[in-house]
Amino acid sequence: MEPMLRIENLCKSFPGVKALDNMSFDLYPGEVHILAGENGAGKSTLSKCILGYVRPDGGHMFLDGKEIAFASPKDSLACGIAAVYQELTMVPWLNAAENIFFNREPVYGKTGIVRTGKMISDARTILSDLGSHDIDVTVPVRKLGIAKQQMVEIARALSMDPRLIIFDEPTSALSEKDTEALFAKIHDLKKKGAGIIYISHRMKEYDRIGDRITVMRDGKYICTGRVSDFSGEELIHHMVGRKTVRIYSRREEKAASRTESDQHRKTEGPAPAEIKEVLKVENLCDKKGRVKNCSLSLRSGEIAGIAGLVGSGRTELARLLFGIDKAGSGKVLLHGEDITGCSPGKLVRKGIGLLPEDRKEQGLALRASLAWNVTSAGLHKAFPGHILDRRTEKKLSEDYMEDLNIAARDTEVRALNMSGGNQQKLVLAKWLLADTDVIIFDEPTRGIDVQAKREIYAHMAQLAASGKAILLISSELSELIGMCDRIYVMREGAISGELSGEELSEEKIGEMMFGVGV
């Protein structure tokens, strides 16, 4: 059987970066071909070349044996190629139905008048087929949560009935239920003979849906094989080009440290003073009923986690704690001071920072420089005299680029032009400079590669070791268990319980998230 898509020695350079370096790849009908690699490996650039967003500098692409050179995405769509992007591409003020059928609206004959009723009905059918019955297709998508927006993005691509579809981190914002529905749809597409390129940093998904896997590194082809032929360690080694260490090691390291400390105290004297409570939340509620009587505490030197299904109220709680949304009732105490109702600006000065779930929309000024973003939250720390010094700004930014291993040409590069992993490290740099006592991490590793994850985990552990208090919100239970001292579980807007020590297991957390035995 001939491949549906064949790519030979594709090259593409941008100023200062060789994004694709003689990259070769092929895809067969009815196959899910995983494309793996670190952020910046060239996966997105390869996808953009296939879709017609980027013109390659050299090499060849063949579809059904015929050479192609798409001038625009319109050309690739005409050939039956569609994509689901990690970064949402919808028009925020249009509703879900209008986004799904954007530029392809059903009309009455040749009148050009949109058949609104049919468009809404068809949108509901597509989303129902994906198991998303609860999405209101008539409201602007900006009012939907990220998970629902992602399902609309998927529905739009599937509505085109593509024969070749590229999925770029499609499950990074999805619940387990929505992920299962998507995988079922992917299996249906395979049976129909569609070719699927699947990009994801969630390695546990590879065995679930993948047939073959191709690894990229630094824009180059590294290897291809059956998914079953590679262990996780082998894949990571191919992706990063060096031996890696376990990424979830904080709790084991702390346990070993405590054992050593206990032995030391037996000979050296009494234990140190108990760590202090930094943040206390008492019966906190929002005004829309999404957060209900939540109480928790956060201590210096620890990482506490929040687990819960998509829609359980985790992000809404983070927004309340950071003052973005206003509380309906309850209290938030920082070092014993009542800070309920304070604005985000005041809370930063008092000592609370937030790495938001959506780094592009809420964490960064994308069109501003790396240097501007680094100093944006910590101006009062970096420039106490209220006079901005460009040389100091440049020096601080260069220091954080080195400390966090941020890959960028220089401090003037725009955040918009950085990879997802480097953007996330840039958000972290902003809060490191602000030097807050409490840092809320909301899905800090969503859509970034294994190596970038490991670096972020290491910095989180260092922050906790220095006495900072960290609240980690994550959909990955292994991430929470590997990093947290304690975990609060949220269900239907309320905290359903707290786990620590030997209680920390995926089974126990899952029972509490789903209300098993309640």
pLDDT in tens, 271-321: 444 578 999 999 999 988 889 999 999 999 999 999 987 778 999 999 999
**Same-domain check for residues 312 and 412:** no
pLDDT confidence of residue 270: 44
**Same-domain check for residues 328 and 375:** no
Contacts 24+ apart (CB under 8 A), 87-92: 87/360, 88/146, 88/149, 88/150, 88/153, 89/153, 90/141, 90/149, 90/152, 90/153, 90/156, 91/141, 92/140, 92/141, 92/142
Helix (H, G, I), strand (E, B) or coil at 62: strand
Domain-ending residue, one of 193, 216, 240: 240
Q: Is the pLDDT of residue 59 over 50?
A: yes
Calculate the average pLDDT of the chain. 87
- Pull the structure tokens for residue 181: 């529905």
Q: Is 124 a member of any domain?
A: yes
pLDDT average, residue stretch 477-489: 91
pLDDT confidence of residue 247: 58
| Close Cβ partners of 201 (under 8 Å, ≥ 6 residues apart) | 169, 447, 448, 449, 450, 453
Q: What CATH number has the domain bearing residue 441?
A: 3.40.50.300
Domain-ending residue, one of 219, 240, 261: 240
Q: Is 269 a member of any domain?
A: no
**Same-domain check for residues 119 and 153:** yes
Range of the domain at 506: 278-351+436-447+466-515
Q: Is 265 a member of any domain?
A: no
Q: Is 163 a member of any domain?
A: yes
- Cα dist from 147 to 150, 310, 390, 438, 514, whole Å: 5, 7, 40, 27, 18
- Pull the structure tokens for residue 413: 């590069």
pLDDT confidence of residue 289: 85
344-381 core/surface letters (b: 16 or more CB in 10 A; e: else):
eeebbebbbbbbbbbbeeebbeeeebbbbbbbebbeee
User: Letter for the amino acid at 78?
Assistant: A
Q: Is 514 exposed, middle or buried (0-12, 13-18, 19+ CB in 10 A)?
A: middle
Q: Is the pLDDT of residue 49 over 90?
A: yes
pLDDT confidence of residue 257: 52
Type and span of the H or E element at 68: strand 66-68
pLDDT confidence of residue 308: 86
Q: Is 255 a member of any domain?
A: no
Residue with tokens 């304070």: 342
Angle at 20 between CA 400 and CA 71, to 5 degrees: 115
pLDDT average, residue stretch 256-276: 51
pLDDT average, residue stretch 184-197: 94
pLDDT confidence of residue 273: 43
Helix (H, G, I), strand (E, B) or coil at 330: strand
Sheet holding 327-334, edge to edge: 294-299, 277-286, 327-334, 337-338
**Same-domain check for residues 511 and 364:** no
**Same-domain check for residues 394 and 430:** yes
Q: Where are the alpha helices (DSSP H) in 332-488?
A: 344-350, 370-375, 379-382, 390-403, 420-434, 450-465, 477-483
**Same-domain check for residues 10 and 114:** yes
**Same-domain check for residues 208 and 300:** no
Q: How many domains does the chain have?
A: 3
Domain-ending residue, one of 188, 220, 240: 240
pLDDT tens, 110-149?
888 899 999 999 999 999 988 888 899 999 998 887 788 8
pLDDT confidence of residue 254: 59
Q: Is 262 a member of any domain?
A: no
Q: Is 226 a member of any domain?
A: yes
**Same-domain check for residues 379 and 333:** no
d(CA 179, CA 406): 31
**Same-domain check for residues 14 and 106:** yes
> In the structure, what pLDDT confidence band is assigned to residue 261 with cuts at 50, 70 and 90?
very low
Q: Of 426, 421, 420, whose CA–CA distance to 370 is shortest?
A: 426
Q: Is 175 a member of any domain?
A: yes
**Same-domain check for residues 190 and 290:** no
Q: Of 73, 47, 81, 7, whose CA–CA distance to 199 is shortest?
A: 47
| Close Cβ partners of 100 (under 8 Å, ≥ 6 residues apart) | 122, 123, 126, 137, 152, 155, 156, 159
**Same-domain check for residues 296 and 367:** no
pLDDT tens, 63-118?
999 999 998 999 999 999 999 987 778 888 999 999 999 988 889 888 888 999 99
**Same-domain check for residues 32 and 165:** yes
Q: Of 318, 320, 321, whose CA–CA distance to 356 is shortest?
A: 318
